[in-house]
Amino acid sequence: MTEVKNYTNLVVLGLPQVSIDRALLDQSCDYIYSQDLYFMVLFTNTSQYSGWQNYTPSQWVQDAKAKYAEKFLAVYRWDEPGGDQLDSSPYKLVKSAENYSDATQQYVNVLKPEVEYYQNTGLDVLTADYGLYWFDYEAGYDTVLAEFGWNNSRSMQIALARGAAEAHNKTWGAMITWTYTEPPYIESGARLLEDLVLAYKNGAKYVVVFNYPEVSTASYGLLGQEHLSAMKQFWNYSSTYGPSGKSIETAYVLPEDYGFGFRNSQDTIWGLWSADVSTSKICSDVNMLTQLKGAEFDILINNSTLAKDVKGQYTELIYWNGNRVNP
């Protein structure tokens, strides 16, 4: 933090071990606040805070709001819930479902109380994820950070996250994360700068660079001098130039409750079903749009959230079934 404090303004305390240890949590937040930085804190399952005795995480958040004021931006709750679902992690939210609609309802029913617990303190709640962004917003998240990592399409991640956020009248962001399973683990400094600028220009409210301290291959966790240099360049860029502000004219509309992972054409739907009869065409359509428009289109889902005023934001709606509408 001492290294980056002059060219960043946000710290995300993303290790559960920090929030579970109340003394360490207070010490960390006090230090961040003393450096005039904004921050977010990841909280895990409330059962992990039994050592706090009669003092609850929600009480801590309320007290922290009063203590740190606007510097305490948000609670980070349940890392990668969509990823847990798609990849059948031990924390998979929906184990079985009758259909896509049932999967949606179960997913929302599990996540919503977790989100509302902290929203009831008056603070925003966010997560980072690599799939099912739309349904994260359905569960009530105020912000979802789309993960830029591995070899995923940045343009597609932006289209999915921004489209979902716009439809729910919420905000979105990006988190640059793992690229490899071995050194150097994270992308090059040059690619990092490209990703930071791409997310920022396309309207991301937050742009976060993931770091992990227990890695000995670089000077600062995952990050080396090339990454710090990229962050400095981005800081200067964002201080000089605003987001593009360009309106998005085209949206691609998916079927109702279509929880497809979008990592490849054989990805699962809700982590429960194999690709269906619509998947091949949908993937082809979306890939074509990324080639033609880059990140200048949104991806929506055709459910009750998709109100007329949302559709009216676009000059062209392309539906999965081939229909095209000019609102």
Look up residue 216 and give its two tokens.
């000995």
Instruction: Specify the DSSP element, H or E, that contains 189.
Output: helix 189-201
Report, in this order, helix, strand and coil percent for the chain, each rounded to 5. Answer: 40, 20, 40
Count other C-beta atoms under 10 Å from residue 253's C-beta. Answer: 22
Q: Is 210 helix (H, G, I), strand (E, B) or coil?
A: coil
* pLDDT for position 217: 64
Tell me: cis bond preceding 184? Omega within 30 of 0 counts: yes
Q: Write down the domain spans for the chain.
A: 1-77, 250-325
* pLDDT for position 279: 97
* pLDDT for position 305: 67
* pLDDT for position 216: 60
Q: Which residues of the chain have pLDDT under 50?
A: none
